[in-house]
Structure 1
Amino acid sequence: EMSGSVFNVTVDSCFFGGYGSDFAGIHLKTTRGRGGSIHAIRFRNIFIDGSNSTKQPRPLSVAMFYGGGDQKPTNATATPRVYDISFENITAILPELHRKLFPAFNFVGLPESPMKNFRFRDIVARGKSLGWSCSDTSDFGFSGTIVPAPGPECAGTESLTSHLK
């Protein structure tokens, strides 16, 4: 969760999850009223073992409407911004314990502040899921091998590459 700003962070060569881990994955969260920004963040060479995860079925999620509710848009300084995030060489084992399928990758921006300029290269999720879910996003770019392939709602302004599966 973020209040204020987080920027210029690189997470490289990490293993998340495994036996006894209820909450494996990369999850960035903020909401209206917190202001600040999350930007210039790089995730690369990550392995996520969510096979035993009981609380979080998504290996990657970024939510700007965290907590839901019906909070109204705030003034510009209290509206968070999320941009310039990259994910490269991420492999995830999806949970087997959930009876309901979820999107493996979930990105929820705000109408007044869409997430933008995200880059995904060589992202593979193994297991059953509903693929990708994106709302209020723009300029999402994909390259290399992306499994499962994102739908058109995640494509943004950049076309998908031929390596999507």
Structure 2
Amino acid sequence: MYGLSVSKRYADTWDTEFKIEVDPFKKLGDPRSKYSPNAIVKGSEEEKKYYQIVENKLKDFRKKAVDKLLTQKHDGYVQGKFTRYPFVITFTIDKKNFRNLEGIISFRNIEKRVKGSISDTEMSFKTTEYINDRENDHLGLGTQYTFDLENQYPNSDLFIGTWEKIDKSYGITVIQLD
């Protein structure tokens, strides 16, 4: 702390005035009582606990959404620059290794098997073989579908990801949970 001190003598007494040039108390902020009881101080233990609770809720949401995704039939679509192809997809989990998934994706009258994997943060699968008709199949086999599970919107019924064909064409994929 520094400032300017001016002292003046009047008769037998000194009158001293001190003016602070830089106020050290300005950086201290406002007292906690000035804010609502729900306010959290940045860098505090409260903040750490709060973010841990939020992260746990998001993990719980992702788990419930993935469980729902893997136990029912779902509508969705793939979209490129100029076209949108609706599909229906059903997944099953490998009973020996819960990280492996298989399923069937149906585009109108074209059915294909998909195989892939799922982790806490990502789900990806690829079309591997035709089950039936392959005429007019614009996507072909080997199309890779990827979903970043950490960035799914809480309380959303959509899984949004990407697709990419062997020829490097790509677009978005959307799976509707209900």
TM-score per shorter chain, which class? under 0.3
What TM-score, normalized by structure 1, do the two folds share?
0.20
What TM-score, normalized by structure 2, do the two folds share?
0.19
**Looking at both structures, which has the greater relative contact order when contacts are Cα pairs under 8 Å and sequence separation is at least 6?**
1
Structure showing the higher helix proportion among its residues? 2
Q: Which has the larger radius of gyration?
A: 2
